[in-house]
Amino acid sequence: MTVLGKPRGRLRSGIARLTGPQRFLLAGSFLIPLGSFAVLPFMSVLLHERLGMGLGTVGVVLAVASLVQFSGGVVGGAVAERIGLRHTMLLALAIRTAGFACFLPGLRHPAAAVFALFLVSVGAALYLPANKAYLIHQVDAEQRPLLLSASGSALNAGIALGPLAAAPFVLSASAGLFTAVTALFAVITAGHVLLPVESPDRAPTAGTGQEQTPPRREKVFAGLAVLPFTTTVLSLYVFMFFQHYLALYAVPRTSATYYGLVLALYALLLVVAQPLLSDRIARLPYARALWLGFGAMAGGMATLAVGNHAAILAGALLVCLGEIVLFLKNDLEALDRSPRAPAVVFGHQRLAAGIGAFASGIMGGAGYQLAERGGGAGLFWVAVAAQCVLLPLLLSRWTALRGRGR
């Protein structure tokens, strides 16, 4: 009880120390994905079935929009460094609100729907780095894990609930749904107007946890934390195999209802465990966190290969633990290792996530098809598990060689 009580006690005290703006941003971290994912998961249905776009065209549109949303985080970080965090959030939310409003004429005109989707993607790219940076702006180093994990939990809760709330209205009351989402974003934007302008940004000195004012604005990729960036690419690379292909694998072996239950339990574990474990994850040495995170993912992917009900649930929950450790630790390590402002660091990390997701998408479809032809889809998960074991070995070897080179 003592061991469990300490993190819970720190969690309660950390929550009690939250400022008004931090509480507002955490609420927004739930409401923004709630509204966004009430719409975005159904874009393929809207573009193809309602507007008559070909599936090939729909795929290209969605791929480019995703690339803008992820890679644009680098631009978002640079913009925040120049015009400020609050101003960047307001600009991003104004663009995103306009995007959701444009979906109304987009219900009749494909070009307007595509334009609306890209506005929403640009707004997300600008908003996320500035949002996370404002949340941890000039807080003590020990508060960062809780704030970032709580933000992640709120975001994942919104992602999980958005499609459930919107599913009955997507096709039957599309105009009303888009109007409601636009109104929600207008209210959130108005709330951001009331946030205080942050004091002059101060970037962490790499490896010290102390802060210093950067002497000048630098190029976008100056000060890139190479190891956390690379690890984030690889973390998203293996994780997105699970994200993209679990439904294809699990539903025929169980049922759509059981798959929905697995996703619900996954989301619940993610939302609850992230803040509870944040302090321990922050105190883990980076090398150990990588072994734990990739090890949990390896165990989860290998368990999925069994293919029965219990294995699919257990495998998914193990992958969830790997996500909790790797995603939070990579961000914390990038903040600690980079001399740049947090918004720029989060932009770098966002780009890394996009590269990993893109690589996974390129490799995954062909890999899954090859495994099915070669003896069963379970082989696909065995291959992913093997990569999860190999990656920390390669990262350890790479860091050792870099250390010798210095």
Digit-coded pLDDT (tens) for 100-121: 999 999 888 889 999 999 999 9
- Which among 156, 196, 187 has a CA at the least distance from the CA of 29? 156
Please give the CATH number for the structural domain made up of 225-406. Answer: 1.20.1250.20
Tell me 195's DSSP state.
S
This prediction has a pTM of 0.81
Q: For position 345, what pLDDT does the model report?
A: 92
The token pair at 29 is 């971290």
With a pLDDT cut of 90, the percent of the chain lying above it is 42
pLDDT of residue 388: 95
Q: Does residue 4 surpass a pLDDT of 50?
A: no
Domain-wise residue ranges, the chain: 20-202, 225-406
Per-residue pLDDT band for 402 (boundaries 50, 70, 90) equals low
Is the C-alpha dihedral spanning 82, 152, 323, 139 positive or negative? Answer: positive
Q: Which residue has the tokens 């696909």?
A: 380
Residue pair 188/90 in contact (Cβ under 8 Å)? The answer is no
Instruction: State the pLDDT at residue 93.
Output: 96
The pLDDT of residue 15: 65
Helix then strand then coil, % of the chain, to nearest 5: 80, 0, 15
C-alpha–C-alpha distance, residues 372 and 383, integer Å: 12
The per-type count for the chain, helices as H runs and strands as E runs, is 14, 2
- Span 20-202 CATH architecture: Up-down Bundle (1.20)
What pLDDT sits at residue 215? 43
Q: Do domains 20-202 and 225-406 have the same CATH topology?
A: yes
pLDDT band at 170 (very low <50, low <70, confident <90, very high): low
375: left (phi over 0), alpha (psi -120 to 50) or beta: left
- The pLDDT of residue 210 is above 50: no
- Per-residue pLDDT of 140-160, as tens digits, reads 888 899 899 989 889 888 888
Could you give the CA distance from residue 108 to residue 160 in angstroms, rounded to a whole number? 28
Residue 206 — very low, low, confident or very high, per pLDDT cuts 50/70/90? very low
Please determine, for residue 266, whether its predicted confidence score (pLDDT) is greater than 50. yes
Number of Cβ atoms within 10 Å of the Cβ of 122:
21
Query: Which of 286 and 360 is assigned the larger pLDDT?
Result: 286
Average of pLDDT values for 297-312? 95
Task: Give the whole-angstrom CA distance, residue 386 versus residue 406.
Answer: 31
Band (208; pLDDT cuts 50, 70, 90): very low
Average pLDDT over residues 76-101: 93
Residues 61-77, mean pLDDT to the nearest whole number: 84
Q: Per-residue confidence at 24, pLDDT binned at 50, 70, 90?
A: very high
What is the per-residue pLDDT across 344-386, written as a single tens digit (0 to 9) for each? 999 999 999 888 888 887 787 778 788 878 778 888 999 999 9
Residue 318 has pLDDT above 90, yes or no: yes
The rounded distance, in Å, linking the Cα atoms of 299 and 314 is 9
DSSP state of 212: E
Centre a 10 Å sphere on the Cβ of residue 270 and count the other Cβ atoms it contains: 22
Residue 252: pLDDT band with limits 50, 70, 90: confident
Q: What is the pLDDT of residue 403?
A: 56
Average per-residue pLDDT in the chain?
85
pLDDT average, residue stretch 71-91: 91
Give yes or no for a contact between 357 and 236, defined as CB atoms under 8 angstroms apart: yes
Please list, in sequence order, all residues whose beta carbon lies within 8 angstroms of the beta carbon of residue 114, skipping any fewer than 6 positions away.
47, 61, 106
Rounded Cα–Cα distance for residues 55 and 310 (Å): 35
